[in-house]
Structure 1
Amino acid sequence: MEFGLSEDQRLMQESVNRTLEKVSPLERVRKAADGGEDYARDIWQALVELGVPGMLIPEAEGGMGLGLLDAALVSEALGRHVAPVPFLASAVMAPLALMGAGSRAQQEAYLPKLAAGEAIAGVAISERASGARDKAGVTVRNGKLNGTALFAIDFGGADFFIVGDREGGLHLVRADAPGLTRKRLTTIDLTRSIGELGFSDVEAEPLASGDAATTSRRMLDAGRVMLAADTLGAGWMMIDKAVDYAKERKQFGRVIGSFQAVKHMCAEMAAELEPGRSLIWYAAHAFDAIPGEASLMAAHAKAHLAEVGRFVARTATEVHGGMGFTDLLGLHYWFKRIGFDRQLLGSPERARHDAAVLQGWAAD
């Protein structure tokens, strides 16, 4: 039995990495972040040409019909290059919503556009991921939505949103729908767009052709695996940068990489982070092949990589010394990306609680 990536998967990830090395250098990331761009359209277009937006979408709808492990490999590459693109919601969570609970007409109308990169989708299911919050939540009355949805993912530039309500239903809302208000939120991670949606008798298309509760769960599971993979990629880039810096920076007439303490810091980062790769791979595999384990493994992957990612981000910054905190090196883009991955779609504490509930160790 093969317990590794196929040749096609390795080639695909290498291709994505090579493309991002060309189109998403630090200077381009900095420009997108400082300029307040919704997302870097040139970087996204390069990924569209590779078929990334349609990875999970069936071939009949213009996609590639691949699995979540393939998407995780791309997410890792995006984290490595802190690419400011709308991948999480538009290429992963929204297609899963439409494929799981959308009508045939909705699938035919929206999936081909997502696959071709002609439309961007945002997703607002924060209550499902993090629990209810005061004065937040969406209700349905006479087929119209009212309330507030916090932390909509891939908010900027979205043509439509997949919105979860308090009863577990899913709805498709066009970005220009009357009564919908949109407010961009500022987070520590300027490479991704997050916003708040306000609803006042907003017309919406219900996604009611499947089990909305199951679909919401799968959206959350997939999103958590993607965030874990993103942290893996960002963490390894921080380690690589720390090692390169340790080989160049000199103190007392010697490169700091020759000091035992610095060697131990770099080795410990690698030893802590690398085992997370197999956890992510298995969680992605379970999502497609072992549905009974999918939610549990997604929660484990999200929680574990969030904790290890924070350790790597802090330690890599320490290896750089005072330079690690400057804007000159840009290390903070990876640091903040890892920090935001930690909280989005549930903190590690929330993910561990979900895992305990799934195993009957705690009440929901």
Structure 2
Amino acid sequence: MARVVRFHQHGGPEVLRIENIDVPGPSRGEVQIRVKALGLNRAEVLLRTGSYIETPTLPSGLGLEAAGIVEAVGEDVGGFVPGDAVSVVPPPSMVRWPAYGELVTFPAEFVVKHPPSLGWEAAAAVWVQYLTAYGALIDIAKLRRDDFVVITAASSSVGLAAIQIANLIGATPIAVTRTSGKKQALLEFGATHVIASAEEDLEARMIDIAGPKGVRVVFDPIGGPIFEPLTAAMSRGGILIEYGGLSPEPTPFPLFTILSKTLTLRGYLVHEIIGDPARLKAAKAFILEGLESGNLKPIIARTFPFEQIVEAHRFLESNQQFGKIVVTV
């Protein structure tokens, strides 16, 4: 028996339950992990509320990130033995392979031996944020040294990962956050410029910062009305990569701006990196090298014990965090 988190109906954090279930051993090609820490993500809120790209059969588990110790390996698995310290790349389906539990099982191709310098909490906070930011900025946008890159929702774990990757490449990160409350923290973290979108004219500030050249790359999980000022300040031939839809308001399509500037608006899910072995291999190499050098360093906003998973989800939805929320098991 092992404790897992499941929900029997869609709803708020209170629908999450800790239950004891029998966990079968790993099947062929799988690795079973004794979990030490979990990383929390917005996708898990969407699954819990019934708004995710997957529709689970209830009751359902959830969770995309974990770090721990290999408990057992299935047939045809090489490179892992019981006792190895590992972390988990988010799988194609968190319904099929949920991470919230004391004992979890994942396909071996999504299990990674992370740098030993990382503790359990940091290791559980690596893969969603860095794979998401890498896939958008490096794999798709081909971020360059002389680029300006606008990063909205900048204080989220993915936003912070994007700032670190931009600095690693030598690009200029412009962090966008709703109010100035997190401005100083973002500047200290490495953002070259910070724009408080609820307090400043976003378009004017972007143009002031980037100059007549404009911003070539925009990385946004929000959508909604922000699309118009974002695209208005972009450079000719620029690319806006949309990886979420946090705004409850309709998202306009700024047709004439897109036509006149020959912009690319690109929908993006991290699954396209995860589902392509060659692209995933390149992403892992980039991220592991960055972790080992210290150029990429996960920021933990707050840690909760496993028994407080409901409180952890409430904090996740409060938008108060700066970095990743982690649950220890």
TM-score bracket relative to the smaller structure: under 0.3
Q: Counting strand residues as a fraction of each chain, which structure ranks higher?
A: 2
TM-score normalized by structure 1?
A: 0.23
TM-score normalized by structure 2?
A: 0.25
